[in-house]
Amino acid sequence: MSSQPDSDFVEYVSGQLIRLHRVAYFMCGDSHLADDLIQATMVSLYAAWPSARKAHNLNGYVHRILVRRFLDEKRSAWSRVLLRDRLPEIVEDRGDRVVERSTMVDALRRLPAGQRAVIVLRYYSDLNVEQTAAAMGCSTGNVKSQCAKGLTNLRMLLAPSSDESPPPPARPAPQRRPVARTSIGEL
């Protein structure tokens, strides 16, 4: 790659590759699939590089490509096929941090793809609502809705089991005064 656009592309990708791989991993929960998503994203970005490099928010543009590749992959029938010649090895616990991370990744895997993408973009990639909406190609209201549903689902998935300490007691509902109802004839 000797031309200026190619060197710009290599420079951009070199600076963003690790962060994009982490984002892809948190979305899909599989390192190998994250590699495939990043590769497909970079191929699409390279094909559109002359116009993409002029984008107002290049990172948002790349996130949008990545999210689309992820959602396309989840829609594919092949995404439900597990191709392995043997069972995976059991991972040893290396402290609470590993357990917490694996618990979070497992919980993220159980979320629907759209909610998972919003949670990862908002809270891992630190994108605001507008940037997330631009990356996903949807409205800000959809991002807020998916985020609220995703956080609710994550809280339920990460809630302590009944064996552990009980959740804190709920606050009593505020008392409401009864509303006097009148019929149209009484007016």
Contacts of 133-136 spanning 24+ positions with Cβ under 8 A: 134/57, 134/60, 134/64, 135/60, 135/63, 135/64, 135/66, 135/67, 136/64, 136/67
pLDDT at residue 65, rounded to an integer: 92
Tell me how far apart the alpha carbons of residues 74 and 53 are, in angstroms, rounded to a whole number: 28
Whether residue 170 is contained in a domain is answered as no
Whether residue 66 is contained in a domain is answered as yes
Per-residue pLDDT 10s for the chain (187 aa) are 456 768 889 999 999 999 999 999 988 888 888 999 999 999 999 999 988 888 888 988 999 999 988 888 877 666 555 666 666 666 555 555 656 778 888 888 899 989 999 999 998 888 889 999 988 889 999 999 999 999 999 989 888 765 555 455 445 555 555 555 544 555 4
Whether residue 11 is contained in a domain is answered as yes
Q: Residue 106 maps to which CATH number?
A: 1.20.140.160
Whether residue 34 is contained in a domain is answered as yes
The residues near 41 (Cβ < 8 Å, ≥ 6 apart) are 20, 24, 62, 65, 66, 69
**Residue 81: C-alpha distances to residues 77, 84, 89, 100, 114 (Å):** 7, 10, 19, 27, 20
Two tokens, residue 105: 């990744």
pLDDT at residue 33, rounded to an integer: 87
Tell me how far apart the alpha carbons of residues 34 and 21 are, in angstroms, rounded to a whole number: 6
Whether residue 35 is contained in a domain is answered as yes
**Residue 67: C-alpha distances to residues 73, 74, 134, 141, 153 (Å):** 10, 11, 11, 18, 20
**What is the count of structural domains for the chain?**
1
Domain that holds residue 41: 4-78+95-160
Whether residue 36 is contained in a domain is answered as yes
pLDDT at residue 30, rounded to an integer: 83
In 3D, which of 109, 137, 136 has the Cα closest to residue 121? 136
Whether residue 89 is contained in a domain is answered as no
Whether residue 86 is contained in a domain is answered as no
CA trace torsion 79, 80, 82, 83 (10° rounding): -50
